[in-house]
Amino acid sequence: MFKKRYAAISGVKENVSVSYQSQLLEEDFGKLLENAATQDRMAQFSTVGIHKDDLVFQIDGYPIKKFGSQGQRKSLLIALKLAQFDMLKQITTVTPLLLLDDIFDKLDEERVSKIISLVHESSFGQLFITDTHPERTEAVIKKTEQAFQLHHL
């Protein structure tokens, strides 16, 4: 779901991946705690455990944190949010509300258009989009000929 959504947003043939990184996959938790006890006392917090687990995102084998552009990072985040939407809908059989809060910042107009077109699909229900540049969002939505309401706050 994630890869499909990223490809639809980016329009580029980049190979994206997400993996779960955990100290517990490599070593026994008891040993980790024992080895970190002195450091934990000095730091006054636990330096090992699941709270240190992380998701690692890569594009073409390179970590996005180091090598991804702001547009790639934002596209990846949106793809993850849309994949989450797809998964919730599939598991619960209820169409969730989708809130996209100021997501168009750092994206070019082409990617913004692709995202708006994606969420125009019939599989999406009610959608709320916030943007610090409402004229940009309004112009893109008008191009897709979708029904919408714009509220200025």
Question: What are the pLDDT digits (tens) for 54-73?
Answer: 999 999 999 999 998 888 88
**Confidence (pTM):** 0.74
Question: What are the pLDDT digits (tens) for 83-111?
Answer: 999 999 999 988 888 888 887 777 777 77
The pLDDT of residue 71: 83
Identify the sign of the CA torsion 22, 5, 118, 139.
positive
Question: What are the pLDDT digits (tens) for 24-58?
Answer: 888 899 999 999 999 999 999 999 989 999 999 99
Q: Return the number of other C-beta atoms located less than 10 Å from residue 93's C-beta.
A: 7
Residues 6+ positions from 74 with CB-CB distance below 8 Å = 103, 105, 106, 107, 111
